[in-house]
């Protein structure tokens, strides 16, 4: 008989693991310390603005195959919008220049031979020099493999890299960027289409996953915080939840998806990144919806990316160490000035807003910190790790989270089948 899987944490990595195991008939219990699922990727109702907000903005491309597979498995793929063809608009607030990134249909970017298809001011040589990133090693930073100055860097590479790594783009590890590029832009236009969540992150990624697990006979226990674990030799034998202790059978497994510091406290002997980077988001509730693109890259201002959904405009700034300690009113004024310039709303007074600060949004994705990412296997035979901070090969993104959960679930399933004799 198959054992039971205990998933610690109901963020995307935990839900990904739970969904995959439930899909294969494993009895699953998800233990979540908070009163809701989703972790850093969820929606909530903001009373001040009177509408649902996502606690963070996320850039997903349809080359992120694990995310799309996850949406299909939980039957939520009809809740997203993927425009075609890929067209990512940008504006440079320094000079008002506007352009769009429109990748070629094929793998070879023939269109870059024409100056009007390149980022304004960028030469073909600039593109060829940046291509050296594809031969980077795991120990190299972006600055070691490509120019970190000039028009192409400022208008394309820097906004892209900071968005996916939440790290100073020059200091970020080159290897995860190489992998992202290989799975998206290097495959052509069909892998570069933005994936939008018009009904919010929870409606697409969280609630359907919870429903899937429970429909398959699993449980999601909220306000159920793990205090620690008991071990005998190389096996986790019990989980301690304060007033509740769960004894594990020989064929049970545990998948921990909590951040590295908590994983170390709960289970011991777990290494992981120990430096983190903030993200600051701003949400503005307009009096009416404007005809603006759902996604806009911003250069030359404080804002980096603008997301528009109905009458709500959201701003994201990654690697936001210079902003995170400022008063919310100050941040909002800076964001609104950029929104006015980017959308041509000069003279429109600042509407109600919400500033959301995530001081430890992701780990700092420098080569040194990337080298600290652990494998999903641990010294305990029945304990596995998942999360965007583990060794996924990708930056700390939605795709990395979902992929890590699926990978941990697959390894755990194989081990459970071996023990039970179901090869």
DSSP for 28-93, written as a single string: EEEE-SSSSSBTTS-EEEETTTTEEEESS---EETT-HHHHHHHHHTT-GGG-B--SS--EEEEET
Q: What percentage of the chain exceeds 70 in pLDDT?
A: 99
CA nearest 13: which of 423, 415, 390?
A: 390
Which region among 101-115, 194-208, 214-228 has the lowest average model confidence (pLDDT)?
101-115
pLDDT of 63 higher than 60: yes
pLDDT digits (tens, 9 = 90+) for 126-136: 999 999 999 99
Architecture of domain 4-43+200-274+367-420: 3-Layer(bba) Sandwich (3.50)
**pLDDT tens per residue, range 23-38:** 999 999 999 999 999 9
Number of other CB atoms surrounding residue 336 within 10 Å: 21
Instruction: With a cut of 60, say whether residue 1 has pLDDT above it.
Output: no
Give me the mean pLDDT over the 382-400 stretch.
Answer: 97
> Which pLDDT value is given to residue 346?
87
Query: For position 170, what pLDDT does the model report?
Result: 98
Residue 2's pLDDT band (boundaries 50, 70, 90)?
confident
CA distance 179 to 136: 10
Quick check: 72 pLDDT over 60? yes
| Residue 16 predicted with pLDDT over 80 | yes
Question: Residue 423 above 50 pLDDT?
Answer: no
**pLDDT at residue 281 greater than cutoff 50:** yes
Domain boundaries, the chain: 4-43+200-274+367-420, 109-186
Question: Please, which pLDDT band fits residue 290 given cuts at 50, 70 and 90?
Answer: confident
pLDDT at site 289: 85
- 90-127 pLDDT per residue, tens: 999 999 999 999 999 999 999 999 999 999 999 999 99
The CA-to-CA distance between both ends of the chain, in Å, stands at 12
Q: What is the pLDDT of residue 335?
A: 98
- pTM attached to this predicted model: 0.95
Contacts 24+ apart (CB under 8 A), 302-305: 302/334, 302/335, 302/337, 302/338, 303/334, 303/335, 303/338, 303/339, 303/342, 304/159, 304/162, 304/163, 305/57, 305/59, 305/159, 305/163
- The predicted model gives 156-178 an average pLDDT of 97
Question: What would the two tokens of residue 104 be?
Answer: 């070629």
> Stretch 26-55: mean pLDDT, rounded?
95
Q: What is the largest CA-CA distance in the chain?
A: 70
Across 64-75, average pLDDT = 98
Which tokens in the block code for residue 119?
């980022």
Residue among 309, 307, 303 nearest 289 (CA): 309
Helix or strand run (H / E) with residue 383: strand 383-385
pLDDT at 311: 95
Task: Identify the pLDDT of residue 422.
Answer: 58
Q: In the predicted model, is pLDDT for residue 185 greater than 70?
A: yes
Mean pLDDT of all residues belonging to the chain = 95
- pLDDT more than 90, % of the chain: 93
pLDDT of 384 above 60: yes
Q: Of the candidates 168, 161, 219, 205, which has an alpha carbon nearest to the alpha carbon of residue 41?
A: 205
Residue 246 has pLDDT above 70, yes or no: yes
């Amino acid at each position: 008989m198959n054992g039971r899987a205990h998933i610690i944490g109901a963020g995307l990595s935990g839900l990904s693991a739970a969904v995959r195991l439930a899909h294969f008939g494993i009895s699953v219990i998800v233990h979540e310390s908070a009163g809701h699922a989703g972790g850093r990727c969820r929606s909530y109702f903001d009373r001040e603005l009177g509408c649902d907000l996502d606690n963070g903005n996320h850039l997903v491309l349809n080359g992120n195959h694990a995310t799309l597979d996850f949406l299909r498995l939980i039957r939520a793929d009809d809740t997203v919008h993927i425009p075609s063809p890929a067209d990512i608009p940008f504006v440079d607030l320094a000079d008002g220049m506007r352009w769009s990134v429109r990748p070629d249909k094929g793998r070879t970017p023939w269109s870059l031979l024409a100056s009007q298809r390149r980022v304004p001011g960028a030469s073909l040589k600039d593109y060829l020099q940046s291509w050296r990133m594809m031969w980077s090693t795991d120990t190299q930073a972006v600055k070691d493999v490509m120019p970190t100055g000039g028009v192409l860097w400022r208008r394309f590479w820097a906004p892209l890299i900071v968005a996916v790594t939440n790290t100073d783009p020059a200091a970020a590890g080159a290897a995860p960027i190489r992998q992202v590029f290989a799975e998206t832009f290097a495959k052509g236009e069909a892998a570069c289409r933005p994936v939008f969540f018009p009904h919010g992150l929870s409606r697409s990624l969280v609630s359907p996953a919870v429903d899937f697990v429970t429909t398959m006979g699993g449980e999601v226990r909220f306000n159920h915080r793990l205090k620690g674990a008991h071990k005998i030799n190389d096996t986790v034998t019990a989980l301690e939840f304060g007033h509740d202790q769960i004894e594990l059978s020989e064929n049970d497994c545990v998948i921990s998806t909590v951040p590295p510091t908590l994983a170390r406290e709960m289970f011991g002997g777990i290494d992981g990144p120990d430096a983190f980077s903030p993200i600051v988001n701003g949400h503005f509730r307009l009096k009416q919806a404007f005809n603006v693109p759902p996604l806009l890259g911003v250069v030359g201002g404080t804002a980096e990316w603008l997301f528009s959904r109905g009458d709500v405009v959201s701003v994201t700034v990654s690697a936001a160490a210079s902003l995170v300690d400022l008063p919310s009113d100050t941040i909002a004024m800076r964001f609104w000035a950029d929104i006015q310039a980017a959308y041509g709303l000069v003279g429109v007074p600042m509407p109600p807003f919400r500033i959301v600060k995530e001081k430890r949004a992701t780990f700092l994705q420098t080569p040194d910190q990337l080298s600290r990412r652990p494998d999903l296997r641990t010294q305990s035979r029945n304990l596995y790790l998942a999360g965007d901070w583990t060794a996924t090969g990708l930056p700390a993104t939605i795709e990395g989270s979902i992929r890590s959960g699926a990978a941990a679930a697959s390894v755990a399933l194989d081990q459970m089948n071996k023990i039970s004799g179901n090869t």
